[in-house]
Amino acid sequence: MSGHGGKRDGAGRKVGAAHKKTRETADKIASDDGIMPLDVMVGAMRELWSLAESLKGKKEEQDKRLGFLAQAGEYASKAAPYIHPRLAAVEHTGKDGGPIETTSVTPREAARRLLFAVATAEQQETRH
Q: What is the CA radius of gyration of the chain?
A: 23
pLDDT digits (tens, 9 = 90+) for 28-54: 766 767 677 888 999 999 999 999 999
Does the structure show a pLDDT above 60 at 1?
no
DSSP 61-113: GHHHHHHHHHHHHHHHHHHHHHHSPPPPP-----GGG-PPP-----HHHHHHH
* Calpha distance 121→64 (Å, rounded): 22
pTM: 0.48
